[in-house]
Amino acid sequence: MTSRLLLCLSLLISMAAHAQSTPKKVALAEQLVKLLHFDRMFDDYLKECSTSPSSTLDAAVSYREHPESFDGLSPQSAYWGEVDAIYGRYLAKICEYSTGEKVTQYFTQQFAEHASEEDLRAALAFQSSPTGRRLQAITLEANKAFQEEASKLIRKAHDDAEDQYQREIAEIIRKFHADPK
């Protein structure tokens, strides 16, 4: 997600030797995860996932790529508004695969299992400091901006992969028609 997430993940890896969780470590981990705002960052991701205008899951994009799937129905049809609504519900369902609360629980468990009590206390002290708080605010804003950018990158990657796939499939179809076997 962001540099803070990478920092936290590297913290997890570096603390792998402390793999035993205790109630005290869970409580410290909960505090740390709340300070790090994993829930808000994940909620930003989910919001972008379900509302991105550059989404790879768009009825018009699907129509352009696979018009045969619509059996004659097109964006010019009076029914296309219903198609868009169905795609909107479809996309929202896909983006509901988790919640900020579940992500928070996951990271709490990971920190409690892999970090020492001392490291959790030190991380809490830093994250509670004015510098830690400023970095948290910067990270939240950077994460919001990144989610929109990531959607654009995903769309471009999808388009590039789709173009290559279609060219390669067209070549196989050409070979098949030339020599059916």
Task: Tell me the pLDDT tens digit for each residue of 88-129.
Answer: 888 778 777 888 888 899 999 999 999 999 999 999 999 999
Helix (H, G, I), strand (E, B) or coil at 56: coil
43 occurs within a structural domain: yes
Instruction: Calculate the average pLDDT of the chain.
Output: 82
Give the whole-angstrom CA distance, residue 126 versus residue 119: 11
126 occurs within a structural domain: yes
55 occurs within a structural domain: yes
121 occurs within a structural domain: yes
Please return the burial class of 25, using the count of CB atoms within 10 Å of its CB with bins 0-12, 13-18 and 19+. buried
Q: How many separate domains does the chain show?
A: 1
Region 20-34 average pLDDT: 93
39 occurs within a structural domain: yes
Residue 71 clears pLDDT 70, i.e. is over it? yes
20 occurs within a structural domain: yes
115 occurs within a structural domain: yes
38 occurs within a structural domain: yes
Q: What is this structure's pTM?
A: 0.59
Q: Quickly count: other Cβ atoms within 10 Å of residue 2's Cβ.
A: 18
Residue 144's nearest CA partner among 58, 37, 64, 59 is: 37
Residues in CB range of 26: below 8 A, 6 or more apart: 108, 109, 112
Region 150-156 average pLDDT: 79
Residues in CB range of 138: below 8 A, 6 or more apart: none
- 115 lies in which domain range? 3-154
